[in-house]
């Protein structure tokens, strides 16, 4: 298993260094200029339908492309006090979806409490799951807990073969992922038309764009069923963002400028209009508010300096957040390339 940038004391562990790399590229025009060219600047939210909580950076894996720089050595995790603030704000709204991410969010001791509180208030809960966490001895009852609360599992599986998956996520992860998917299927996940939803996430295993979502979903469905008897509901394609450990990979291999050029050449105005930050509020492990999980990992908080923390969110402030100005940068090319990319997969068809 690899180490995090932080534990290696790599300069890229600093978000200032990452932003410097992103803003000084010559491979693409500034992202904000592209938004201006298509009449979308300044980008504004259109509402809040997703309340995304990142409960911390602790993870049992150290994936090579991770935009969080998550890993077993990371100690940032959301406290119960902050989790309670999140639920208090959620209760003041009718935001339908609570999307819990990390790290491996399930390793946070407050994860199950958050799930119970959100589902008790009638909200749809998503768990962004790395699959292998379901096999940890300490999480033996996790799968049944998730099923019991009808939590939608969005699970990372970059490819339907071991070599590609292990190259991105670590030696032996493919085998564990398959075992975890079979476990989820056994307790009712991923069945068409009924039961809790099991959706997969495809990330390219390298410096290239994802395939057309429908095409790669069909390939996954055929291969996973044929070789492992696995069923799932949908597959989402997500473009790798040029930040954190994926940025390290790009720079190490001399792919950075070409990748930024590839993203910028594939800029899609329709995808730009539908980016997820326009309908998401992202909350960090310490309660800081962001437009999205990527801005969170680059330490780019909300533009409005008056509302920076979940404790500052009042019903009046929420109204303002629904059409807030969104902080953008060159990393945003990752969400607007090709068919677009979001936590729910491609933005356009």
Partner 1 sequence: MDTYYHPHDLQKFADMGKGNKELWDKFMGYYSAVFAEGALTEREKALIALGVAHAVQCPYCIDAYSQACLEKGSNTEEMTEAVHVACAIRGGASLVHGVQMRNVADKLSM
Q: Which of residues 163-202 bind partner 1 (CB under 8 A)?
A: 163-164
Which of 216, 297, 300, 302 touches partner 1 (CB under 8 A)?
216
Paired tokens of 285: 């492990």
Which of 80, 88, 161, 253 touches partner 1 (CB under 8 A)?
161
CB of 167 to partner 1, least distance (A): 10
CB of 209 to partner 1, least distance (A): 5
Which of 29, 148, 188, 211 touches partner 1 (CB under 8 A)?
211
Number of residues that bind partner 1 (CB under 8 A): 14
DSSP conformation letters of 300-311 = ---S-TT--BGG
CB of 24 to partner 1, least distance (A): 19
Does residue 212 belong to the site contacting partner 1 (CB under 8 A)?
yes
Residues 6+ apart with CB under 8 A from 301: 288, 289, 290, 295, 308, 327
**Binding span for partner 1 by CB under 8 A among 74-82, 111-119, 158-166, 312-320:** 158-166
Peptide bond into 103 cis (omega under 30): yes
CB of 26 to partner 1, least distance (A): 12
Does residue 93 belong to the site contacting partner 1 (CB under 8 A)?
no
Which of 1, 91, 140, 215 touches partner 1 (CB under 8 A)?
215
Closest to 59 (Cα-Cα) out of 19, 7, 99, 117: 7
Distance CA 180, CA 128 (A): 14
Paired tokens of 84: 């309670």
Closest to 21 (Cα-Cα) out of 332, 330, 335, 334: 330
Distance CA 306, CA 239 (A): 32
Contacts to partner 1 by CB under 8 A: 159, 161, 163-164, 204, 206, 208-212, 215-216, 219
């Amino acid at each position: 298993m690899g180490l995090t940038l932080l534990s290696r004391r790599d300069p890229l562990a600093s978000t200032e260094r990452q932003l410097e790399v992103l803003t000084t590229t010559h491979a693409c025009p500034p992202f904000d200029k592209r938004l201006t060219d298509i009449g979308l600047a300044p980008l504004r939210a259109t509402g809040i339908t997703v309340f995304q909580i990142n409960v911390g950076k602790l993870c049992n894996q150290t994936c090579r492309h991770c935009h969080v720089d998550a890993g077993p050595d990371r100690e940032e995790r959301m406290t119960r006090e902050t989790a309670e603030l999140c639920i208090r704000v959620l209760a003041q709204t009718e935001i339908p979806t609570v999307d819990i991410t990390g790290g491996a969010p399930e390793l946070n001791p407050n994860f199950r409490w958050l799930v119970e509180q959100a589902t008790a208030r009638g909200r749809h809960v998503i768990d962004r799951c790395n699959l292998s966490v379901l096999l940890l001895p300490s999480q033996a009852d996790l799968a049944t807990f998730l099923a019991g609360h009808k939590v939608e599992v969005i699970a990372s599986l970059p490819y339907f073969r071991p070599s590609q998956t292990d190259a991105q996520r670590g030696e032996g992860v493919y085998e564990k992922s398959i075992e975890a998917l079979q476990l989820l299927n056994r307790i009712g996940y991923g069945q068409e038309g009924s039961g809790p939803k099991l959706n997969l996430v495809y990330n390219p295993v390298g410096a290239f764009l994802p395939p057309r979502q429908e095409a790669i979903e069909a390939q996954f469905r055929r291969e996973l069923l044929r070789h492992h008897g696995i069923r799932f509901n949908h597959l989402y394609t997500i473009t790798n963002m040029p930040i954190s450990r994926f940025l390290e990979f790009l720079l190490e291999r001399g792919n950075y400028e070409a990748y930024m050029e590839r993203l910028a050449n594939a800029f899609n105005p329709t995808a730009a209009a539908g980016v997820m930050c326009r309908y998401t509020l992202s909350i960090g492990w310490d309660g800081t508010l962001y437009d999205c999980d990527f801005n969170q990992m680059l330490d780019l908080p909300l533009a409005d300096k008056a509302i920076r923390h979940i404790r500052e969110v009042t019903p009046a402030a929420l109204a303002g957040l629904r059409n807030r100005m969104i902080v953008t940068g060159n990393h945003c090319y990752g969400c607007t390339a090709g068919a677009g990319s979001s936590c729910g997969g491609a933005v356009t068809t």
